[in-house]
Amino acid sequence: MEFSIEALERRLNDFDAGTRRAALEELAAREKVTGATPASRAVNLHCHTFFSFNGYGYSPSYFAWRAKREGLYVAGIVDFDVLDAVDEFLEACALLDLRGCAGLETRVFVPPFATREINSPGEPGVSYHMGVGFVSGTVRDTALLSRLKTLAQDRTRGIAQRVNPYLEPANVDFDRDVLPLTPKGNATERHLCAAYDIRARAVFPDEDARTAFWAEKLRSGPAAIRAVLDDPPSLQALIRSKTMKAGGVGYVSASGPDFPALDDVNAFTLANGAIPTFAWLDGTTTGELAIDELFDVMVAGGAAAVNIIPDRSWNIKDPAVKALKLDKLYEFVALAAGRGLPIVVGTEMNAYGNRFVDDFNAPELQPLIPVFLAGALIMYAHTRLQAHAGMGYLSEWARNTFPNATSKNAFYRRVGERLGPSCAIPESLGPLTGLEEMEQALGLK
């Protein structure tokens, strides 16, 4: 049976891995994917997949396919608390001749900021934190990876236990109604909201009855509920904000034991050849206002790169808020560059409505494009060299070869630019290879 292009693209998001791989191979063969360098300089290195939550249900294969079709220069995925997408995504990138990298995101506890919000609103001391540049989902220290997922699932189950009595009779069974919404059981708050939406539709098939139910439970007027009743992403976002965040019945202020330690996550990341990456919100929280102190803590803990979601700082309607956040964005980029930290950017896509890629043509982003592109190329080059012979950005080879961050960043950026996805790295190159020989072999001279 021959499928249309549209049908094959839909199959890319099937929960069955074999179905996804067959569809991708067929699409690549039909479309005759080539290794031409993209004309665009746009990148997205922070896209969540359906192994945690993607607002559009994108699998790692689908994201790679669309990134190739839309001409992204570098693409990258990151999922909460799991590395389930890493191998599939990097294999898809290789098949499609796409520069790519893969990572993990979690929330960690940062003791020096125990009384200050960092980048997780309403949770003092808690910080979203990343590891970028994993080359496989098969890792050392599976105990920590298992703990990350267990902690996250326990938090989500706890929310369900608190919200269920409040949303009676539209309560859900976590194992029956929530876990099947994600391929490998990594259910998030957003999956839980989808389950409540689905359950309410079954319990209240009549729209007026369902409107009245949500108006009462979400403390909103009937007109506001009707406006989102048949718009699942908007309704589910309202369910989350009213029941699971501060002020909602499902919210409980988190404490240190609810999250892994910053040092433990960084040690895990380093042990698996990836780069501990400090995630930044928008510069307006009490923790981020103490930006130099925060940088010192994160770098001392091992962070060697930073992550930004630029859309949060420039795509804002209120002119005063936009001006403030843009100033903070430019300040943060300058501080990161001054410390020699590569910058990873993306658009998350963990909610419906997130852009597939930020608007790199926006005047607000134009001054930052060179540094954003450099960071993406460094992460891609790290991924290739780490996979080849453990010669990534934080490897012993890199430590012994480069006297400072400036020279190291320049090398990995040039490798990322020069080394196309279909270009093989000579087998002779390894940890004993000198810099000059490396540069000659990779065409940098």
pLDDT tens, position by position, 375-423: 999 999 999 999 999 999 999 999 999 999 999 999 999 999 999 999 9
List the domains of the chain with CATH numbers: 33-138+272-418 (3.20.20.140), 148-243 (no CATH)
Instruction: Give the pLDDT score at 219.
Output: 94
Contact present, 200 and 182 (Cβ < 8 Å): no
Beta carbons within 8 Å of 152's beta carbon, 6+ residues apart? 80, 81, 106, 186, 188
**pLDDT (mean) for 47-51:** 98
pLDDT tens, position by position, 245-291: 888 999 887 777 888 999 999 999 999 999 999 999 999 999 999 99
Instruction: Give the pLDDT score at 37.
Output: 67
Instruction: Give the pLDDT score at 34.
Output: 64
Q: Do strands 74-80 and 43-47 pair parallel, antiparallel, or not at all (unpaired)?
A: parallel
pLDDT tens, position by position, 144-199: 999 999 989 998 999 999 999 999 999 999 999 999 999 999 999 999 999 999 99
Q: How far apart are CA 248 and CA 234, in angstroms?
A: 17
Q: In this model, does residue 370 exceed pLDDT 90?
A: yes
Instruction: Give the pLDDT score at 121.
Output: 81
The rounded percent of the chain whose pLDDT value lies above 90 is: 89
Instruction: Give the pLDDT score at 364.
Output: 96
Q: Output the pTM of the full model.
A: 0.94
